[in-house]
Amino acid sequence: MAAKLDVRNVSANLQNESILRNVSLKLEPACIAAIMGPSGCGKTTLLRALAGFLPVSSGEIHVHEKLLSTSQFTLAPENRHIGMMFQDLALFPHLTVRQNISFGLKSLNGGDKRTRTRQVLELTELDHQGGKYPHQLSSGQQQRVALARALAPKPEILLLDEPFSNLDPDLREQMATGVRKILKHEDVTAILVTHDQHEAFAMADEVGVMLDGRVEQWDSAYNIYHKPRTRFVADFVGLGSMVPAKVLDACTLETEFGQVSGDFDPSFTSGQEVDLLVRPDDIPHDDSSPITALVEEKRFRGAEFLYKLRLRSGNFVLCYAPSHHNHQIGEPIGIKLDLEHLVVFARNPTERAGNLR
């Protein structure tokens, strides 16, 4: 049975340094979440606290209303029914695939152990690899062995600490999609820690972004990208630029593209100078547009170019254009602003330029 996870105002320290600061989140049974953030933000520390490897200094962790951690109590990891898949995979090189998977099934008798091992081998499409050793497998197959071993004891929650980081980007996203199908089949609640937003979006039902030990936003992948609540989330997830704007009324902004309307934070007042988040997909290439910008940089992405454009004001925006629109550096191109969402922040002149990456 999938578990419901409830983390309530959890803080944790390492060597007297505060690493987690009042982290709260909830996961419904069988929900898959991904946590992103820069190195040192507390992602792995949060997984260690959930697994019981690290005591919390305050707050509580509950699974199905069962208390796992407080500042006064830490339930042992082996009693939590929480599995963990590590970044280095930690496969036993001297054991076969089948032996690696069955290693954690010591509580089962021989027949049940063989049955469960066979089940997860088939589930992870390793049923013809059981007699091989880890070094005889591809990187992707080794990832699946580690997943199969973590799933074999039927954990209520599975924690995945950057398990695909050693794979190339295309295989990483492919693995994330495949692992999602397996977790859904097994009805497992899971949390993935990753630096890769494509991996997170491919795998997760919900996404959290962390900074300095705090959760900046916990939301759907769609909202994380299109409706970021803080400047950090807007910058960390996806590409974008901050375009100067002025608030005209409760639903209208004046920009150098003209007036734009929509819902935004009602706390902004008429006449206030603000910054408007503009993603590359908000700037369609349009040769018939009266608005032009100069190509400052370009990146070829196969089916499209990503252009960094200098507006007449000197501000920069990013623009996707089909790859047959091959414009040269310094060339003017027509663009327009086509926003579905108005994401507005208080003015910060130092954070406007978009950068290609």
In this predicted model, what pLDDT tens digit does every residue of 312-347 receive, in sequence order?
999 999 999 998 889 999 999 999 999 988 999 998
Query: What is the rounded distance in angstroms from the CA atom of residue 6 to the CA atom of residue 195?
Result: 23
Give the pLDDT band (50/70/90) at residue 200. very high
Each residue of 306-343: b (16+ CB within 10 Å) or e? bbbbbbeeebbbbbbbeeeeebeeeeebebebebebbb
Query: What is the rounded distance in angstroms from the CA atom of residue 175 to the CA atom of residue 189?
Result: 18
pLDDT at position 356, please? Answer: 61
CA 268 to chain centre: 30
**pTM of whole model > 0.85?**
yes
Q: By the 8 A CB rule, do 203 and 180 touch?
A: yes
Q: By the 8 A CB rule, do 131 and 98 touch?
A: yes
Strand partners, 171: none
Q: Could you give the dihedral angle defined by the CA atoms of residues 102, 107, 108 and 113, in that order, rounded to the nearest 10 degrees?
A: 0
DSSP helix, strand, coil percent of the chain (3-state; round to 5):
25, 35, 40
Q: What is the mean pLDDT of residues 83-98?
A: 91
Rg of the chain (C-alpha set): 24
Q: How far is residue 99 from each of residues 35, 102, 121, 142, 154, measured CA to CA in Å?
A: 31, 5, 11, 13, 17
Each residue of 258-272: b (16+ CB within 10 Å) or e? eebeeebeeebeeee
The tokens describing 3, both together, are: 């578990």
**Could you tell me whether strands 157-161 and 82-85 are parallel, antiparallel, or unpaired per DSSP bridges?**
parallel
In this predicted model, what pLDDT tens digit does every residue of 282-320 receive, in sequence order?
999 998 899 999 999 999 999 999 999 999 999 999 999
pLDDT exceeds cutoff 60 at 352: no
Query: What is the rounded distance in angstroms from the CA atom of residue 198 to the CA atom of residue 314?
Result: 31
Query: Phi and psi of 178, rounded to 5°?
Result: -65, -40
Q: By the 8 A CB rule, do 46 and 35 touch?
A: yes
* CA proximity to 225, closest of 173, 282, 176: 282
Among 93-97, 118-122, 263-267, 290-294, where is mean pLDDT lowest? 263-267
The percentage of residues in the chain with a pLDDT greater than 90, rounded to a whole number, is 79
In this predicted model, what pLDDT tens digit does every residue of 204-261 receive, in sequence order?
999 999 999 999 999 999 999 999 999 999 999 999 999 999 999 999 999 999 999 9
Cβ-Cβ contacts under 8 Å for 312 (sequence gap 6 or more) = 256, 292, 293
